[in-house]
Amino acid sequence: MNKLPYIVNLIWDKLIQAVWFSGANEMRDILFVPEQKYKAKEMKDAIFQREWELLKPVIGISSGGPRNVKHVWTDNDRECLASRYAELQPIWIEAKKIAKAAQESDIAILHAARLCLPANVELSVVRLRKELTEWKNKRTV
């Protein structure tokens, strides 16, 4: 079963949540109420808490108790680990590529343009990057 669409959807959902928090904090700056801005821990907990709670039992973290439980490996354990790893590795490699592409994507500059420019102004990403580069060069001279 191809899990790539599920992974892309999950990453996209987290990206949208992060952008929402960023926009909310930007709005608080504009309204001069920086003391009401979301803190990094609040954002992290809100974005990833559900997944973290689902992962804790899988990776053996509970609320207290022993953490380094000695496991006696069987051939079945090793066979399962090897087959699951072979199945999951390509999926996670692809997810990593998607995540890296999202970090280098045009979403940030488009979001910044929406916050900074009038609503009726629509510019291409190339033009926005050109303006940003020229501004940075102008400031360093």
Summarize pLDDT for 86-112 with one digit per residue, the tens: 999 998 998 888 878 777 788 788 888
Asked whether residue 13 falls in the same domain as residue 41, the answer is yes
The verdict on 59 and 99 lying in the same domain is yes
Contact residues for 81 (Cβ-Cβ < 8 A; gap 6+): none
Phi, psi for 8 (deg, rounded to 5):
-60, -45
Residues 18 and 83 in one domain: yes
Say whether both 48 and 20 belong to one domain.
Answer: yes
Residues 73 and 53 in one domain: yes
Quote the pLDDT of residue 1.
56
My answer on whether 87 and 128 are in the same domain is no
User: 85 is in which domain, residue-wise?
Assistant: 4-105
Q: What is the pLDDT at residue 130?
A: 92
Number of domains into which the chain is organized? 2
- The residue whose two tokens read 């280098």 is 104
Amino acid at 51: E
This prediction's pTM: 0.37
127 and 58 belong to one structural domain? no
42: amino acid identity, one letter: E
Q: What is the DSSP string of the chain?
A: ---HHHHHHHHHHHHHHHHHHHHHHHHHHHTT-GGGSPPHHHHHHHHHHHHHHHHHHHHT--SSS-SS------HHHHHHHHHHHHHHHHHHHHHHHHHHHHHTSSHHHHHHHHHHS-TT----HHHHHHHHHHHHHHHH-
39-64 pLDDT, tens digit each: 888 888 888 777 777 777 767 766 65
